[in-house]
Amino acid sequence: MTRRRRSPLGRLLRWCFWLTLLLAAWLLGVAAWIVHVGNRDDAAPADAIVVLGAAAYDAQPSPVFEARIDHGLDLYRAGHAKVLIFTGGYGGARARFSESQVARRYALRQDIPASAILIESRSRTTVENLVETRRLLQDHGLQRVIVVSDPLHMARALRASRRLGIDAIGSPTPSTRFRTFRTQREFLLREVYFFHRDLFEVLRDGIGS
């Protein structure tokens, strides 16, 4: 018996099927890794606790930002570090306070001593949060930090920290406001996108160096 040859179209469809399957498996793996990192709390003794910025409404932190601040304060009270670093610049041209200033005011009302708080008010993105954090760490002779953010944001924050040479461990807020299926799905899809954007930038920088 002679073997029946597949047509070119059949071979193409077969290759497309396997490529689609591999792509789906890759994306599911990336998403699972992001969820895994966000479910880990590696809080341990450090030099500072870095609370990444989020939206603020005039002098009040948004619910997302408040949850991050509260977790940072809990870590401070538990003795994990003696310094709190709040990050985040001005949300708009008319904003009276930067995100970090709002966080500082909130912490002071919770009886956190002013001497334990450092802020930066220039950043607008996660990477900028961490660039300014690195500057504060260098200025104050601090090294290891605990990064506080929402669980699904933690993988990207730690990736950026490593790229910037920051010795960071993660402690995601247990009271994240992203609890519904819809908000978690949207957050996760966004983080999967950022994973590939960051990967492309790493590869581009490696080729260009």
Q: For the chain, what are the domain ranges?
A: 40-177
Angle between helices 151-163 and 181-208 (to 10 degrees): 10
Average pLDDT over residues 171-182: 84
- Closest to 95 measured CA to CA, from 138, 55, 49: 55
The pTM of this model reads 0.88
Q: Judge whether 147 and 52 are in contact, CB under 8 Å.
A: yes
Those residues whose C-beta lies under 8 Å from the C-beta of residue 80, and which sit 6 or more positions away, are: 43, 44, 45, 46, 49, 146
Per-residue model confidence as pLDDT tens digits over 122-156? 999 999 999 999 999 999 999 999 999 999 999 99
Q: What is 40-177's CATH topology? A: Rossmann fold (3.40.50)
pLDDT classification of 109: cutoffs 50, 70, 90: very high
112 alpha carbon, distance to own chain's centre: 24
Residue 34 structure tokens: 């992001």
- Model pLDDT, residue 188: 94
